[in-house]
Amino acid sequence: MDDILIQHSKDSAAGARSKAARSIVPVSRVSAGDVVVPNDRMEVYERLDVYNFGYFTRLKDVLESDFPALVHAMDKHSWLHLALGYVTRYPSEHPNLNVLNRRLPGYIEKKNVPNRGFLRDLAQLEVFITEAFDAPEFEQIDMESLRQATPEQHTGAVFETNPSLRLLESSYPVNRYLQTVYDEGSPPTIAEETPVREKSFLAIYRKEYRVWRLNLPRPMFRILEALREGTPLGDAIISQGDHDEDFQRWFREWAADGLFTRVHIDS
């Protein structure tokens, strides 16, 4: 159900005329003036519009708070058009506004907008940051059990990863762009400069109540991805064949950063 009264992207009068509204209450039988009282300063639809305008302003503000880099990358008109289209297509269905953003990357993917891939990945990164921020509480792994394991047990070890962990593979350096925005720099908008393709691999996770973004080399990204899916450690390492990365150093960093919450070792 969309496009009715206070959710209509034009105004409440257009909302009342919409097909969705008429499917609930036929306008031929009931008009807004039959239900709402005007006063000496405002007509019926002007009173309804207080809610209509408030609705879009509020949701736009929430999205702008969640997507500072995406908003920076787009010109104001394009952003407002995108945001309005998004909340019309995907109105909030949750008591909490912290999930309103979740479908925006997919929505961008389906829109015919310039530099769609860059904008989608930038939006996805910003969604992952909010997901990591709000992920369930967890406890970091006790690495002692792993230190005491035999080499064979290491090979078969299966890890459960921290519920805040998100992995993002992009054809663009979206993390660098985001960091520049965070640093109050002013990276070029997509209207000023077409984003240059450059593969990037990123782990996003929460540690000590802050969200971190870690750039990873491709083989380490793939291994972490495999571990998150429950692949035994030995198989995850072998899957990447020969490479120049120091896996043990990366693994120690991941463990120290709390990326693992449980390890299953065959006794």
**Three-state DSSP class for 94?**
coil
Q: Are 128 and 206 in contact (CB under 8 A)?
A: no
Nearer to other proteins, 39 or 267 (CB): 39
DSSP H helical ranges for 135-172: 144-147, 151-156
> Is residue 93 involved in binding other proteins (CB under 8 A)?
yes
> Is residue 267 involved in binding other proteins (CB under 8 A)?
no
Helix (H), strand (E) at residue 175:
helix 174-182
> Is residue 55 involved in binding other proteins (CB under 8 A)?
yes
> Is residue 50 involved in binding other proteins (CB under 8 A)?
yes
Count the neighbouring beta carbons within 10 Å of the beta carbon of residue 69.
22
Nearer to other proteins, 49 or 121 (CB): 49
Binding segment for other proteins (CB under 8 A), chosen from 49-57, 78-86, 108-116, 234-242, is 49-57
Question: Which tokens go with 212?
Answer: 């971190």
Residue among 107, 99, 108 at smallest CA distance from 127: 99
Nearest approach in angstroms of CB 71 to other proteins is 19
Q: Which of 25, 84, 135, 167 binds other proteins (CB under 8 A)?
A: 135
- Rounded Cα distance between 52 and 18, Å, is 14
Interacting residue ranges for other proteins, rule: CB under 8 A: 1, 6-7, 34-37, 39, 41-42, 44, 46-48, 50-51, 54-55, 58-59, 91-99, 132-138, 163-164, 206, 209-210
